[in-house]
Structure formats: structure tokens, C-alpha cells
């Protein structure tokens, strides 16, 4: 079942992030971020996939409204992750399809995402869903403080 994320999902989302994405971010900080992002429904959409039997979150997708001066608003997928034990069961596809339906209802005509160069399995998954590779980029960052 797909539903909107809730603050109580933080621990399960943190576990998925750690297992699947390699982000060892503390549960308390994940919970604080989740609370803040859920409060900003105008710019953030976070959906979870809940296992019908265990009632645990086994996948999630985080989408932001991406707005620039040089193109129409679009959705930017910041994260899509499914518990390793439940992959290849269509959960990621269902989450992506749900986001596409929500986007269409909101008048959003484009969805974009970035995927690490080494994540070739994810690339095939996105291509299978009809997403196309658009361009190479380098990402730059700077830690402050």
C-alpha cells in the first residue's frame, strides 16, 4: 500500500537509507528532517510503500518541486529506495507511477532525477520506466563551518 509518509516512519526510512543508499544518518536527525519536510507540502512529497502483512515501510520516494527561471516547474526525485529484501517486486515502479499520476494532476509535465554513475542497475530500472539519460554533470560541494 502506498501512502503519504508520517513522522512515525522515520526509523524505517533511516534503515532503508542505511541499507540501500549507504547513508548512515542518525534516526533522530532523520526524524527531524522528515518532520520539517512533511510540513512543507507545497515543495516536498514523500510517499512510502507499506508491506500489507508486517505494516512496515519497505520503500519510499522523496520528490521536490523544482523551479527555475528558465523552464516550467517540474518534479525532481531526490530519493527512491526499497528495502534490499523486497527489491524486484515492483515496489519502486509503483512508487514512481504514483508520483507520475500526482504530477499530472498538479499540471507538472516533467520529472527528473539524478543517479550515481556506478548505479547501473538503477539506470536500467529508470530506462525501463521510460526515463532517458539527458546529460553528464559533475557535482560540486563545499562543507561550511
- As averages over each run of 10 residues, the pLDDT of the chain (145 residues) reads 98 96 94 98 97 96 96 96 92 97 97 86 91 84 90
The answer to whether 99 and 131 have CB atoms below 8 angstroms apart is no
Domain-embedded: residue 133: no
Q: Is 30 within the bounds of a domain? A: yes
Q: Does a structural domain hold residue 135?
A: no
In a domain? residue 40:
yes
Show the domain range for 28: 2-128
pLDDT value of residue 96: 97
Please give the model's pTM, rounded to 2 decimal places.
Answer: 0.92
Residue 101 confidence (pLDDT): 98
Per the structure, the count of domains in the chain is 1
Residue 48 and residue 13 in contact, taking contact as beta carbons nearer than 8 Å: yes
CATH code at 62? 3.40.630.30
142 domain-assigned: no
* pLDDT score of 136: 81
What is the pLDDT at residue 52?
94
Output the pLDDT for position 120.
Answer: 81
Quick check: is 138 in a domain? no
Amino acid at each position: 500500500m502506498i501512502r503519504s509518509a508520517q513522522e512515525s516512519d522515520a526509523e524505517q526510512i533511516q534503515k532503508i537509507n542505511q541499507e540501500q543508499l549507504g547513508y548512515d544518518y542518525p534516526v533522530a536527525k532523520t526524524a527531524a528532517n522528515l518532520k520539517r519536510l512533511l510540513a512543507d507540502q507545497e515543495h516536498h512529497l514523500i510517499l512510502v510503500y507499506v508491506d500489507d502483512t508486517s505494516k512496515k515501510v519497505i520503500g519510499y520516494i522523496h520528490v521536490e518541486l523544482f523551479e527555475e527561471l528558465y523552464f516550467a516547474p517540474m518534479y525532481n526525485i531526490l530519493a527512491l529506495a526499497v528495502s534490499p529484501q523486497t527489491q524486484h517486486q515492483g515496489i519502486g515502479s509503483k512508487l514512481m507511477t504514483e508520483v507520475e499520476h500526482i504530477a499530472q494532476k498538479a499540471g507538472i509535465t516533467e520529472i527528473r532525477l539524478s543517479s550515481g554513475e556506478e548505479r547501473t542497475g538503477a539506470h536500467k530500472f529508470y530506462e525501463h520506466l521510460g526515463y532517458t539519460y539527458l546529460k553528464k554533470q559533475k557535482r560540486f560541494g563545499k562543507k561550511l563551518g
